[in-house]
Amino acid sequence: MEIGTIGHTEFGHIFVAKHSEDTNFTGVCPIHGDCLEGLASGPSLNARTGYKGEQLEKDDPVWEILAYYIAQAAMIATLSYRPEVIVLGGGVMSRRYMLELVRDKFLELLNNYVEIPPIEDYIVLPIIKNNGSATIGNFCLAKSIAN
């Protein structure tokens, strides 16, 4: 087997600590149940509430729970990989107020343990809407492999 051919990372399937108000939710991931994707995805939001994110009010407590999980993932990435920026996409993050909730939870969890760039520059949303950043990135990777 060549180096790099074993597969790609699956950061969405890491395990995070359960929120104290979410201990009875088993998660929706068909493989792991309560991994990050099973706890903080659009389908998990729907399974918890019976509603899609667009139908929930900004002050619904479920947003704080999801922000807690996503902030943990950002902290794990920070401490494991020390990236220059973390780009958070997906349906749950399409609610504009989620970015601030995640940033606030992240700063609380990180507790100034390591230095990071200004939070507004460090945890961001994709530049191109509707998953366009991923699509363009995939085309760029494909082109670099073809050359």
Whole-prediction pTM: 0.86
CATH number of the domain enclosing 136 = 3.30.420.40
Residue 73, C-beta contacts closer than 8 angstroms, at least 6 positions apart? 11, 14, 16, 36, 40
Range of the domain at 31: 11-146
Q: Is 5 within the bounds of a domain?
A: no
CB atoms inside a 10 Å sphere around CB 60: 16
Mind listing the pLDDT tens digit for each residue in 77-108? Answer: 999 999 999 999 888 998 889 999 999 999 99
Determine the average pLDDT of the residues in 128-147.
68
Structure tokens at 92: 């749950």
Domain count of the chain?
Answer: 1
More confident residue, 110 or 2: 110
Determine the average pLDDT of the residues in 43-71.
95
Among 21-25, 102-106, 132-136, name the one with the lowest average pLDDT: 132-136
Q: Is 63 within the bounds of a domain?
A: yes
| Predicted pLDDT at 4 | 62
Q: Is 79 within the bounds of a domain?
A: yes
DSSP of 89-127: -STGGGSHHHHHHHHHHHHHHHTTSS--S-HHHHEE--S
CB atoms inside a 10 Å sphere around CB 126: 18
Q: Is 51 within the bounds of a domain?
A: yes
Yes or no: say if 69 and 36 are a contact pair by the CB < 8 Å rule. Answer: yes
- Mean pLDDT, the chain, rounded, equals 90
Q: Is 115 within the bounds of a domain?
A: yes
Q: Is 6 within the bounds of a domain?
A: no
Q: Is 2 within the bounds of a domain?
A: no
Mind listing the pLDDT tens digit for each residue in 8-19? Answer: 788 899 999 999
